[in-house]
Amino acid sequence: MSTSTPQAATREEDFVHVCRVQDLPEVGAACAEIEGRRVAIARDSEGRVHAIDDTCSHANVSLSEGEVEGTTIECWLHGSRFDMTTGEPTGLPATVPIAVHTVRLDGDDVYVALND
Ligand code: FES
């Protein structure tokens, strides 16, 4: 099991099957609802899969409708950029980080465990 964040969930029962890798855009994001929370599942330009909160921290807009470049996702409304590996904003106007969730791949299946 691979984990990428300090607060990463590690319990097997925390992981939920979300989709298959081929269901995602080649480079881009799709929105999933996990335990009532909207999560953007994104594939970056190197084929890695990330899971972040879908709601931009600047306003109530879906980040999965934005553009992905490298490990960055850009909000379509005002252009805020977030690093999907850390959740940190890397471009204004957003200044508040978004939550990053733990992704586990099992073959082509994508599993996500929600973090705080
Ligand atoms: S709503 Fe995302 S940058 Fe403004």
Q: Could you report the per-residue pLDDT of 63-99, keeping only the tens digit for each?
A: 999 999 999 999 999 999 999 999 999 999 999 999 9
Q: What is the pTM of this model?
A: 0.91
User: For the chain, which domains are there?
Assistant: 12-113 (2.102.10.10)
What tokens does 109 get?
Answer: 């299946």
**Tens digit of each residue's pLDDT (9 = 90 or more) over 18-54:** 999 999 999 999 999 999 999 999 999 999 999 999 9
Closest ligand 1 atom to Cα of 94: 3
Residue with tokens 């996500």: 112
Residues 44 and 27: beta-carbon distance below 8 Å:
yes
Type of residue found at 24: L
Q: Report pLDDT for 10.
A: 72
Q: Report pLDDT for 50.
A: 98
User: d(Cα 94, Cα 58) in Å, to the nearest integer?
Assistant: 5
What one-character-per-residue DSSP string does 65-107 give? GSEEETTEEE-TTT--EEETTT--EEETT--S---EEEEEEET
Q: Which residues' Cβ are closer than 6 Å to ligand 1?
A: 56, 58-59, 61, 75, 77-78, 80, 93-94
Q: CB count, 10 Å around CB of 67? A: 15
What confidence tier does 2 reach under pLDDT thresholds 50, 70, 90?
A: very low
Closest ligand 1 atom to Cα of 63: 2
User: d(Cα 64, Cα 91) in Å, to the nearest integer?
Assistant: 17
- Dist. CA 66 → ligand 1 center (Å): 10
Q: What is the CA radius of gyration of the chain?
A: 13
